[in-house]
């Protein structure tokens, strides 16, 4: 999934090379960190272990997260940003250095259980106009050689995330990759097959419903539909199976009908849009989990469910781009503070357990001063929401109907909590005031920040900055540096 912007896809593809063999299928999670309120990595890892979540996917190679995951036994996928593909594809020394800094250093006795490396993130997205496409295979080649040098090629496999519009189809049986991608996708799939590796696909029925007013709502879930899709002898009663089998057909047309498939991202948001709510999210995710664990499979692969499924996502991410929609910040099965949003069982009927030892800021909030004229509040409101998250105020959001003063108070408080309750952050030229009475209304929750967190940029330490500088200098001046 693109971390800064995203089109509204029926599904997003990931092409992945992973270790095959006897691997227990399971439910994993995506751990995104684009948030104004981040729990410490140690708290997050404890949360994963408490909920018996044994697989996690990161979108970078965050040193703090990897350090916290060391010794946990949790399988990890780390990522390489698209912007780093050019230097890695052009310099084996850059590739060696990246593997040394982000893989080898953690793959020690009692270390992190890194299984996959995502080489780029949706590099074939149409909106990128092919700017990353030529780097993918050379980067794969260099990284594979680097892993071999480090004696890690047998345990760590490479991932190449594919874009949401990588294939086209009107019916699952007609699934094919886009003509202009056929050559490179064929190369990728051959690479996967040569490593006995699965293909990873991201399926988002919510986005199909959100982007198409004619999309049958019941078709997005797993309880059956009044609008099934008939495709030859197969009948589809849910979008998940339809999307999954479209990929099966596309792979079959390339000559790989039996290639194992992993669902890298799938989920349902809880706020920020119509149909994005707690009850819908619970219905979808619980239905998905039950279906996967039942081993029912799909019409084209009966009895053969995905090898693994990674829910998107672990937490809400209040700093994500809202270009695709305000719901982008509300995919978490847990809220920012590690509290389960709804009753969800990932295995054996065990419900989600909340994060332990979460330390909150004092119980106080910043709200609009009721004694002041708010006619000049617009600029302050815009300023607060430009830094903090106000997406719940949008149409369909949980705070959509709390009135003008309520909206102002919500914006002021969101900014105030993001600033760790600094009194000056509640001034707003006298229009704000601090209160000790919780202003939450119904389902509209006015948050209180946490103290056991880390800032968004804290994980990019000096070593990480130096590594990035070295890689790019190596790319442009490799004749001198390497």
Q: What letter does residue 347 receive in the DSSP assignment?
A: E
The token pair that represents 200 in the structure block: 């990873």
Q: How far apart are CA 218 and CA 215, in angstroms?
A: 9
Q: Tell me the pairing of strands 301-302 and 297-298.
A: antiparallel
Q: How far apart are CA 305 and CA 278, in angstroms?
A: 26
Residue 83, number of CB atoms within 10 A of its CB:
13
Are the C-beta atoms of residues 248 and 300 closer than 8 Å to each other? Answer: yes
In a 3-state reduction of DSSP, which class is residue 55? strand
In a 3-state reduction of DSSP, which class is residue 413? helix
Verify cis geometry, omega within 30 degrees of 0, for the bond prior to 246: no
Catalytic residues: 122, 265
Which secondary structure element, helix H or strand E, spans residue 309, and what is its range? strand 309-311
Q: How far apart are CA 262 and CA 308, in angstroms?
A: 5
Sign of CA dihedral 264, 270, 276, 280: positive
Secondary structure string (H, E, C) spanning 358-388 = CCECCCCEEEECCCCCCCCCHHHHHHHHHHC
Output the CA angle 200-206-207, nearest 5 degrees.
80
Q: How far apart are CA 173 and CA 225, in angstroms?
A: 20
Are the C-beta atoms of residues 27 and 137 closer than 8 Å to each other? Answer: no
From 46, 34, 32, select the one nearest 74 (Cα to Cα).
Answer: 46
Residue 24, number of CB atoms within 10 A of its CB:
8
> 183: burial class by Cβ within 10 Å (0-12, 13-18, 19+)?
exposed
Output the CA angle 454-312-110, nearest 5 degrees.
60
Q: How far apart are CA 347 and CA 111, in angstroms?
A: 26
């Amino acid at each position: 999934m693109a971390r800064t912007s995203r089109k509204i896809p029926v599904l997003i593809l990931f092409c992945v090379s992973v270790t095959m063999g006897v691997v227990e299928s399971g439910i994993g999670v995506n751990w995104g960190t684009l948030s104004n309120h981040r729990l410490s990595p140690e708290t997050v890892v404890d949360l994963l272990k408490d909920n018996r979540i044994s697989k996690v996917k990161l979108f970078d190679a965050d040193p703090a997260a990897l350090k916290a995951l060391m010794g946990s036994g949790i399988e990890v996928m780390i990522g390489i940003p698209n912007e780093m593909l050019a230097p890695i594809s052009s310099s084996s020394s850059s590739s060696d250095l990246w593997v040394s800094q982000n893989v080898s250093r953690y793959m020690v006795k009692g270390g992190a259980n890194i299984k996959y490396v995502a080489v780029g993130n949706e590099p074939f997205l149409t909106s990128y106009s092919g700017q990353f496409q030529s780097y993918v295979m050379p980067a794969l080649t260099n990284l594979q050689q680097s892993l071999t040098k480090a004696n890690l090629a047998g345990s760590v496999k490479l991932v190449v995330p594919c874009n949401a519009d990588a294939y086209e189809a009107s019916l699952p049986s007609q699934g094919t990759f886009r003509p202009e991608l056929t050559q490179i996708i064929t190369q990728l799939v051959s690479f996967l097959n040569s490593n006995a590796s699965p293909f990873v696909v991201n399926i988002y029925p919510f986005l199909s419903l959100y982007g198409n007013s004619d999309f049958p709502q019941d078709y997005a879930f797993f309880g059956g539909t009044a609008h099934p899709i008939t495709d030859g002898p197969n009948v589809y009663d849910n979008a998940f199976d339809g999307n999954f089998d479209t990929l099966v057909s596309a792979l079959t047309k390339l000559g790989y009908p039996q290639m194992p498939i992993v669902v890298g991202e799938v989920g349902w948001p809880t706020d920020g849009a119509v149909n994005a709510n707690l009850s819908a999210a619970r219905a979808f995710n619980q239905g998905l989990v039950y279906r996967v664990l039942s081993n029912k499979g799909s019409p084209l692969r009966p009895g053969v469910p995905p090898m693994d499924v990674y829910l998107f996502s672990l937490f809400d991410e209040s700093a994500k781009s809202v270009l695709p929609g305000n719901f982008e910040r509300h995919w978490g099965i847990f809220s920012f503070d590690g509290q389960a949003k709804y009753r969800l069982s990932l295995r054996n009927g065990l419900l989600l357990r909340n994060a332990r030892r979460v330390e909150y800021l004092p119980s106080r909030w910043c709200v609009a001063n009721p004694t002041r004229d708010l006619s000049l509040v617009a600029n302050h409101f815009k300023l607060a929401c430009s830094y903090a998250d106000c997406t719940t105020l949008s149409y369909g959001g949980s705070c959509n109907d709390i009135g003008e003063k309520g909206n102002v108070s919500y914006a002021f408080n969101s900014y105030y909590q993001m600033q760790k309750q600094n009194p000056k952050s509640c001034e707003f030229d006298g229009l704000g005031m601090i209160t000790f009475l919780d202003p939450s209304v119904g389902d509209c929750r006015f948050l209180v920040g946490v103290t056991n967190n880390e800032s968004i940029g804290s994980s990019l330490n000096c070593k990480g900055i130096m590594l990035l500088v070295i890689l790019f200098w190596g790319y442009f001046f490799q004749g001198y540096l390497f």
